[in-house]
């Protein structure tokens, strides 16, 4: 059956445990997925190709359950009509586990889409691209809920930067939220700097080279740039966002042992220019050490807030100390 995304809370997970999410709006799909899997711990992620290459093992892993095992949430990414026979097989077994199928655009003639649309026990949700009006509404609600005051013109600037991508919008708003915690008024100049961080050569390159422990390059970037106290807040919070994304990738890599699958499965997608250095970062950092890094970032941010005039020294010491190979043993 076809339902709207806002109706997701109306479904009965015991009866409607097969769900198809299709469409280009990855940010919206991720939001709804988080609602569905809330408070669940036994969550397994697969790529369609991974399942097709190991079909028997996949089916057996689902049908074989230990006595005290919790229900599984199985998320299948990059799905196409090729997965249909496997889904039909599992559906016929009346399994208790939940299957969430994430697909790109599916045409009306899609057999997978048709299978989910016609059966009342199956859930099919299309996710269409957001328009500027929808994104503006989301931005206003986010800023209101976080008590952040930004002019309408700056909200339009942020929305335009996102090119209709909800997930990009949330990432940009999170940067602004982190910056606003410094207690400073957010100016148009701050907004421009924050939403262009992914394009800011000096700051993004500084963080990337720290995570691959290229100390020589880091020193070069620090010497070439005259970072301000305000920049230090941006650096530490951008570093935090990057570290949290790396933690997700690291966990995925420890599970699937496949670096290319880990990179290709990332959401939001990793820009092609950043794929190689991201692979290096995954190889360099173990999950337990990324958690330590995130804690250290939080502690450094507190120190910067207490002594803003010394923030440049604090951020420089932090960057240099974490670019040492000894920090990730």
The answer on 271 and 217 residing in a single domain is: yes
- Consecutive H or E run containing 269: none
**15-29, 71-85, 226-240: least confidently modelled range:** 226-240
Q: What is the CATH number of the domain that holds 48?
A: 3.40.50.300
The answer on 238 and 184 residing in a single domain is: no
Question: Which among 177, 195, 213 is the end of a domain?
Answer: 195
Q: Is the pLDDT of residue 299 over 70?
A: yes
Question: Which among 84, 100, 126 is the end of a domain?
Answer: 126
Q: Is the pLDDT of residue 94 over 50?
A: yes
Q: What is the pLDDT of residues 37-49, one digit of tens each?
A: 888 888 888 889 8
Contact 103/36 with Cβ under 8 angstroms? no
- The average confidence (pLDDT) of the chain is 86
When pLDDT is averaged across residues 120-132 and rounded to a whole number, the result is 91
When pLDDT is averaged across residues 157-181 and rounded to a whole number, the result is 79
Query: What does the longest C-alpha to C-alpha distance in the chain come to?
Result: 66
Instruction: Please give the C-alpha separations between residue 198 and each of 163, 255, 303, 308, 324, in angstroms, as whole numbers.
Output: 14, 28, 25, 24, 24
Residue 318 CA to residue 235 CA, distance in Å, equals 11
* Total Cβ atoms within 10 A of residue 168: 19
Q: Is the pLDDT of residue 194 over 80?
A: no
Contact 232/238 with Cβ under 8 angstroms? no
The answer on 191 and 241 residing in a single domain is: no
The answer on 211 and 142 residing in a single domain is: no
**Domain boundaries, position 39:** 5-126
Q: What is the CATH number of the domain that holds 314?
A: 1.20.272.10
How many domains would you assign to the chain? Answer: 3
Of 240, 209, 211, whose CA–CA distance to 224 is shortest?
209
- Res. 198 pLDDT band, cuts 50 70 90: very low
CA dihedral 275, 139, 45, 264 (to 10 degrees): -20
The answer on 227 and 313 residing in a single domain is: yes
The answer on 180 and 94 residing in a single domain is: no
User: What's the confidence (pLDDT) of residue 75?
Assistant: 94
Of 157, 158, 164, 137, whose CA–CA distance to 268 is shortest?
164
Question: Which among 78, 103, 126 is the end of a domain?
Answer: 126
- Res. 74 pLDDT band, cuts 50 70 90: very high
* Total Cβ atoms within 10 A of residue 56: 7
The answer on 183 and 163 residing in a single domain is: yes
Contact 83/101 with Cβ under 8 angstroms? yes
Residue 144 CA to residue 187 CA, distance in Å, equals 17
What's the number of CA atoms in the CB half-sphere (13 Å) around residue 158?
32
């Amino acid at each position: 059956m076809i339902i709207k995304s806002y109706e997701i809370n109306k479904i009965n997970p015991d009866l409607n445990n097969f769900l198809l999410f299709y469409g280009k709006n990855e940010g919206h799909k991720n939001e709804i997925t988080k609602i569905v899997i809330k408070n669940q711990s036994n969550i397994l992620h697969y790529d369609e190709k991974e399942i097709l290459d190991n079909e028997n093992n996949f089916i057996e892993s689902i049908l074989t359950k230990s006595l005290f095992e919790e229900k599984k949430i199985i998320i299948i990414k990059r799905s196409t009509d090729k997965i249909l026979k496997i889904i039909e097989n599992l559906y016929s077994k009346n399994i208790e586990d939940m299957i969430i199928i994430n697909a790109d655009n599916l045409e009306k003639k899609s057999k997978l889409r048709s299978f989910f649309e016609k059966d009342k026990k199956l859930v099919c949700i299309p996710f269409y691209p957001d328009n500027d009006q929808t994104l503006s509404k989301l931005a206003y609600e986010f800023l209101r809920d976080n008590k952040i005051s930004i002019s309408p013109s700056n909200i339009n600037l942020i929305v335009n930067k996102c090119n209709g991508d909800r997930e990009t919008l949330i990432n940009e708003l999170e940067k602004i939220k982190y910056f606003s915690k410094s207690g400073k008024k957010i100016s148009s100049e701050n907004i421009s700097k924050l939403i262009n961080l992914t394009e800011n050569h000096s700051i993004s390159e500084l963080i990337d080279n720290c995570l691959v422990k290229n100390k020589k390059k880091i020193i070069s970037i620090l010497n070439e740039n005259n970072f301000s106290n305000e920049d230090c807040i941006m650096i530490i919070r951008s570093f935090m966002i990057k570290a949290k994304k790396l933690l997700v990738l690291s966990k995925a890599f420890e599970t699937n042992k496949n670096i290319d699958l880990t990179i290709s499965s990332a959401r939001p997608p990793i820009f092609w220019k950043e794929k190689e250095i991201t692979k290096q970062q995954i190889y360099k950092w173990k999950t337990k050490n990324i958690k330590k890094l995130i804690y250290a970032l939080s502690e450094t941010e507190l120190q910067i807030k207490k002594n803003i005039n010394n923030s440049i020294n604090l951020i420089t010491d932090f960057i240099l100390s974490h670019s040492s190979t000894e920090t990730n043993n």
